[in-house]
Amino acid sequence: MSARREDGGIDDIASTIPSEMNNAATLRIQQHAHHNGYPGTKCEDLGPRTSDLGPRTSDIPHETDDAGYRTSSMNKNSRKREKMKLYIFRHGLAIEREDWHQDDALRPLTPHGVKKTRQVCRALQPVIAAEVMLTSPWVRARATAEIAAAAWRLPLRDADWLAAGHLSMATVSAELMALDAASVVVVGHEPGLGELLGALIGTPPIPLKKAGLALLEGELRAGGMRLHGLLTPKLAVAWAKA
């Protein structure tokens, strides 16, 4: 990947995603806000663009456990702090609801969905600097999370509350703060994830594409976070090939 530096590190994503991709992602946020009654919303109102995804994974202080997974090297006493980095990841392409005649919780990814999710997770590996991943236990989300956890070397836990159709801010805040972690990936479904994303940054819901990722940072309360990145699967894979 062109993101590799001569010294073996990885350049900031800002220098590797073509400007037209950044502009496209930014435009989608602006158009969505305008469509939902926020005509004055600008990219800067929602935080930095996709190009400002934050520090490289290699720059985040971490250790590894016996299984080789990343763990934070921060003092445990400092973990319960106000700010958190949150990655919101929607499950990959699944069998269409109308083509599935069993319990919706059992609806799986399609073969193409599995392949595309793997591509996206490999592409996003340099961007992810999390400590733990939580997933809805529903089959399509759990399968997506297993692919992502393997690619990003993260411990994975089921979280029944992520399977809810609508996510309560009180529930989300309580569950994530109980983790005592500074950076978390959550894997789930629409419309809950889009509603959560919008609530956290103080806008109307912003639906995520299947296998799409949003990166936020700030306080776990309504309007308390800033959107640092919004990547569709197409943008993520195109960046990896650049």
pTM of the model: 0.71
Q: What pLDDT shows up at residue 239?
A: 81
**Residue 16 contacts residue 2 (beta carbons within 8 Å):** yes
Sort residue 223 into left (φ over 0), alpha (ψ -120 to 50) or beta. Answer: left
CA atoms within 13 A on the CB side of 223: 3
Residue carrying the six token digits 């392949």: 115
Taking the C-alpha atoms of residue 108 and residue 227, their distance in angstroms, rounded to an integer, is: 30
Q: What pLDDT shows up at residue 64?
A: 52
Instruction: Convert the pLDDT of each residue in 45-101 to its tens digit.
Output: 333 333 333 443 334 344 554 545 444 444 444 444 568 999 999 999 999 999 999
If 0-12 CB within 10 Å is exposed, 13-18 middle and 19+ buried, where does residue 137 land? middle
Domain 82-95+105-241 top-level CATH class = alpha beta
**What's the Cα-to-Cα distance from 84 to each of 3, 7, 56, 63, 149, rounded to whole Å?**
26, 30, 16, 19, 19
Residue 94: name the closest of 136, 133, 124 by CA. 136
Taking the CB of residue 205, how many other CB atoms lie within 10 A of it?
17
Taking the C-alpha atoms of residue 199 and residue 56, their distance in angstroms, rounded to an integer, is: 27
Taking the CB of residue 73, how many other CB atoms lie within 10 A of it?
9
Q: What pLDDT shows up at residue 82?
A: 65
Confidence tier at 41 by pLDDT (50, 70, 90): very low
Query: pLDDT averaged over the chain?
Result: 77
Q: What pLDDT shows up at residue 241?
A: 80
Sequence-distant (6+) residues with CB within 8 A of 227 are: 29, 46, 47, 197, 201, 214, 215, 216
Sequence-distant (6+) residues with CB within 8 A of 90 are: 144, 187, 188, 189, 190, 193, 208, 209, 210, 211, 212, 213
**Residue 187 contacts residue 145 (beta carbons within 8 Å):** yes
Confidence tier at 38 by pLDDT (50, 70, 90): very low
Instruction: Convert the pLDDT of each residue in 119-163 to its tens digit.
Output: 999 999 999 999 999 999 999 999 999 999 999 999 999 999 999
